Amino acid sequence: GTAQVGVTGLAVMGRNLARNLARHGHTVAVHNRTAARTRALVEGFGHEGAFVPARTAEEFVAALERPRRVLVMVRAGAPTDAVLDGLAPLLDEGDVVVDGGNAHFADTRRRERRLRERGVHFVGAGVSGGEEGALNGPSIMPGGSPEAWAALRPLLEDIAAKAADGAPCTAHIGPDGAGHFVKMVHNGIEYADMQLISEAHDLLRHVAGYEPARIAEVFRTWGTGRLDSYLIRITAEILAHADPVTGRPFVDVVADAAEQKGTGRWTVQTALDLGVPVSGIAEAVLARSLSGHTRLREASAGLPGPHRPPLAEEDAAYFADQIEQALYASKLVSYDQGWHMMRAASEEYGWGIDPGTVAAVWRGGCIIRAAFLDRVRAAFAADPALPTLLADEGFAGEVGEAQPAWRSAVAEAVRHGVPVPGLSAALASYDALRAGRLPAALVQAQRDYFGAHTYRRTDRAGVYHTLWGGDRSEVRAGS
């Protein structure tokens, strides 16, 4: 065969990635279970580059130069297994198969093991940026063998988004499931950021008393500063949009029950297993869940709350500035939790994920792309062992400066009865991390009281138990 790369699965993502590859001068073999999609691609976009349409998996594999490079872009789960089972017997040692779907990293680990037994390099690649990104430059997070990365690198660097400094937004993340894990955390952080932005909007609306068009202006201004990001930009656009049917602000005609495809939930489930507190992501998942419980919300709608009028104009402007600070500090804390999670997984699975590389890859193409991520990259480049971004001098200074306003914003939200689970959870995380002593001491004492679960002391080594039911003397409980 003569095609440099093959794409199987030609729905929106696969089709656009195939076009992206072809536009960069690569000859692309294309295949889809339903042949109509393959025909539509070649008929509609054949003029953009060199495509080799294949009707069967055999034809597809035969069209590829060796060692083969195959990108699988089908629905995650059973469809991916079906496609891999079909391809595996047709492949040879040294071939590289990439799953660019949203697979769970545990599935990727399993698939990598199975294909490795056949000598095939399996790569689990997170791809972010949606349809548009797939066509014009996504962020790509591949996990797999170094050999596979070497074979894929020229292709992926061609089609990936480019950061402001021109660097492609792709890099070898680590072995087996590392890429899909990082993509999962990306999506979790995306949930957290969206929740924080939505809470900021809610406060500007109900506490500052601003209309959506005015809030759009506020976000537009914020987007020129340290909050400069894709999500802030699209938020400003959405808030400025009027519903063509009613003429009302578009955001007011959208039903307020948020849905989720599940990667946020995966992130939280995985974080719980790893014992890592990702409260920002968890609160975002929970907030979406609560929004969908219509009966519960209807039954609670009449419950009493404060009746405070919106702030006066001058106070509102001051408050808006406090929200910017609260949003920025909360974003920093929530992103930091994501990095904590990647560090924990990297240690658990021996992935060797470089935290700065992840930040670099997220600078462009993906949903959370932001100027901020270049600063995260720089912080980890300066010290890859940084235990938290809050230990970076620059970020610590900013949060230190923001924290009085952050508290005021959360306090004002509470006084007005506006729920801010994301902003307040981030603040609680910040306060817990910096506290000299935590109430965990009392929790340990309670556990020892009712369950003889033992405790350690601050002043002596060893494990102890107090005879709560007896004379309350203390005994050593082993080492």
Choose between 180 and 331: whose C-beta lies nearer to ligand NBP. Answer: 180
The answer to whether 465 contacts ligand NBP (rule: CB under 6 A) is: no
Which x/- pattern, by CB under 6 A, does the window 96-115 give for ligand NBP? -----xx-------------
The answer to whether 204 and 210 are in contact (CB under 8 A) is yes
Torsion of CA 3, 9, 15, 16, to 10 degrees: -100
Shortest spacing between CB 464 and ligand NBP, in angstroms? 51
Interacting residue with ligand NBP among 12, 257, 296, 312 (CB under 6 A): 12
Tell me: cis bond preceding 67? Omega within 30 of 0 counts.
Answer: yes
Shortest spacing between CB 273 and ligand NBP, in angstroms? 22
How many residues touch ligand NBP under the rule CB under 6 A: the total is 22
Residue nearest to ligand NBP (CB): 101
Shortest spacing between CB 222 and ligand NBP, in angstroms? 26
Choose between 131 and 347: whose C-beta lies nearer to ligand NBP. Answer: 131
The answer to whether 214 contacts ligand NBP (rule: CB under 6 A) is: no
The answer to whether 124 contacts ligand NBP (rule: CB under 6 A) is: no
Which x/- pattern, by CB under 6 A, does the window 235-274 give for ligand NBP? ----------------------------------------
The answer to whether 329 and 402 are in contact (CB under 8 A) is yes
Interacting residue with ligand NBP among 9, 249, 280, 365 (CB under 6 A): 9
Shortest spacing between CB 117 and ligand NBP, in angstroms? 22
The answer to whether 13 contacts ligand NBP (rule: CB under 6 A) is: yes
Shortest spacing between CB 260 and ligand NBP, in angstroms? 13
Interacting residue with ligand NBP among 1, 130, 262, 310 (CB under 6 A): 130
Shortest spacing between CB 33 and ligand NBP, in angstroms? 3
Of 351, 388, 363, whose CA–CA distance to 179 is shortest? 351
Which x/- pattern, by CB under 6 A, does the window 58-77 give for ligand NBP? ---------------xxxx-
Choose between 76 and 378: whose C-beta lies nearer to ligand NBP. Answer: 76
Residues that bind ligand NBP (CB under 6 A): 9-14, 32-34, 37, 73-76, 79, 82-83, 101-102, 127, 130-131
